[in-house]
């Protein structure tokens, strides 16, 4: 009613908020300029390069502008296993990180609530690895699981590994490294979500005949869904494009090469820029489709 009174005598100079005014454009301009300069331009350049053809007159690594759509079919047929492997590794590492992070985040965010000091200490410990370059940390793992390390020799002695089997270079090692490196990106969003979890809902669930495990599935998980979604996205997307862990210089070998390693090799070693670009575009498209489907299915807009 009060609003109706205002609307009848609307002061002049106020345009409807739904219309884009000059101020809005002015405020948006820096952001749009940034997106244009640093996102759209490289993207456009990338797509252009991905369609280039080898220069018939030039030498090795020379390409001319073209519309060689065939590049895409070539890279897909050639590198499909690495693509699938990337998503397989990314999925495994994301699930592992979620399984490890959820109890950790629950403990810090819910159980440790009465002890704020402990809470802060544990959060610091989660972030602490960031203070050391992740290249160094990954190399450290390589050292720990190196062929001569006591872990590997022990595993060989007790028969879990054959005497000619090693850990470095295996899918296990790569997924382990990926999980390890991206756990904080999972833990922190989960923590933010669980830290706000109102435990009275859990009591209400128990009061309504739900056993602790059912309370967890029916109340805790749905209420922490925003954290689960942002955590899984923050780990899955970078892991799918990661080229450090799977590289032969670190934890992987040629048999564990992910799409990131293929792009790196094509671009830096065999100078096949169109193939590298085409793979990048495909990776981006695949992630976009997967993420869009995932977000739509988990219904983030419906959460709280």
List interacting residues with another protein (CB under 8 A). 198, 200-201, 203-212, 214-215, 218-219, 222-223, 225, 303-304
DSSP letter at 66 equals: -
Using CA atoms, how far residue 37 sits from 24, 48, 49, 211, in Å, is 20, 16, 17, 55
Helix (H, G, I), strand (E, B) or coil at 64: strand
293/229 Cα distance (integer angstroms): 12
Cβ 7 to another protein, closest distance in Å?
25
* Integer Cα distance of 24 and 16 in angstroms: 12
Alpha-carbon distance of 276 to 261, in angstroms, equals 10
Q: How far is the CB of 224 from another protein (least distance, A)?
A: 10
Least separation in angstroms between residue 296's CB and another protein is: 17
Contact by Cβ (8 Å): 92, 258: no
Nearest distance, CB of residue 235 and another protein, angstroms: 23
Of the two residues 164 and 207, which places its CB atom closer to another protein in the complex?
Answer: 207
Return the number of the residue (12 or 200) whose C-beta is nearest another protein: 200
In the numeric block, which tokens belong to residue 281? Answer: 């575009």
Query: Are the beta carbons of 97 and 186 closer than 8 angstroms?
Result: yes
Of the pair 157, 211, the CB lying nearest another protein is at 211
Q: Min. distance of Cβ 217 from another protein in angstroms?
A: 11
- Between 184 and 227, whose beta carbon lies closer to another protein? 227
**CB-nearer residue toward another protein: 179 or 220:** 220
């Amino acid at each position: 009613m009060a609003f109706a009174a205002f609307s009848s005598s609307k002061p002049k100079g106020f345009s409807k908020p739904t219309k884009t005014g000059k101020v809005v454009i002015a405020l948006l301009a820096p952001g749009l300029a940034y997106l244009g300069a640093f996102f759209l331009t490289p993207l456009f350049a990338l797509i252009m390069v991905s369609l280039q053809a080898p220069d018939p007159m030039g030498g090795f690594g020379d390409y001319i502008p073209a519309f060689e759509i065939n590049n895409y079919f070539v890279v897909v047929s050639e590198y499909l296993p690495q693509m699938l492997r990337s998503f397989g590794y990314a999925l495994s590492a994301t699930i592992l990180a979620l399984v490890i992070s959820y109890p950790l985040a629950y403990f810090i965010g819910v159980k440790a609530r009465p002890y704020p000091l402990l809470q802060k200490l544990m959060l610091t410990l989660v972030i602490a690895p960031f203070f050391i370059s992740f290249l160094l940390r990954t190399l450290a793992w390589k050292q720990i699981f190196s062929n001569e390390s006591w872990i590997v020799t022990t595993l060989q002695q007790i028969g879990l590994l054959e005497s000619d089997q090693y850990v470095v270079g295996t899918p296990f090692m790569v997924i382990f490294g990926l999980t390890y490196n991206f756990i904080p990106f999972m833990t922190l969003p989960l923590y933010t979500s669980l830290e706000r979890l109102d435990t009275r809902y859990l009591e209400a669930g128990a009061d309504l005949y739900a056993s602790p495990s059912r309370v967890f599935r029916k109340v805790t998980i749905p209420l922490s869904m925003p954290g689960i979604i942002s955590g899984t996205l923050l780990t899955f997307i970078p892991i799918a494009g990661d080229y450090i862990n799977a590289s032969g210089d670190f934890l992987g070998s040629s048999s564990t090469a992910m799409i990131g390693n293929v792009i790196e090799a094509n671009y830096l070693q065999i100078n096949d820029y169109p193939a590298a670009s085409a793979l990048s575009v495909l990776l981006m498209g695949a992630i976009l489709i997967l993420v869009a489907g995932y977000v739509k299915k988990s219904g983030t807009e419906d959460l709280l």
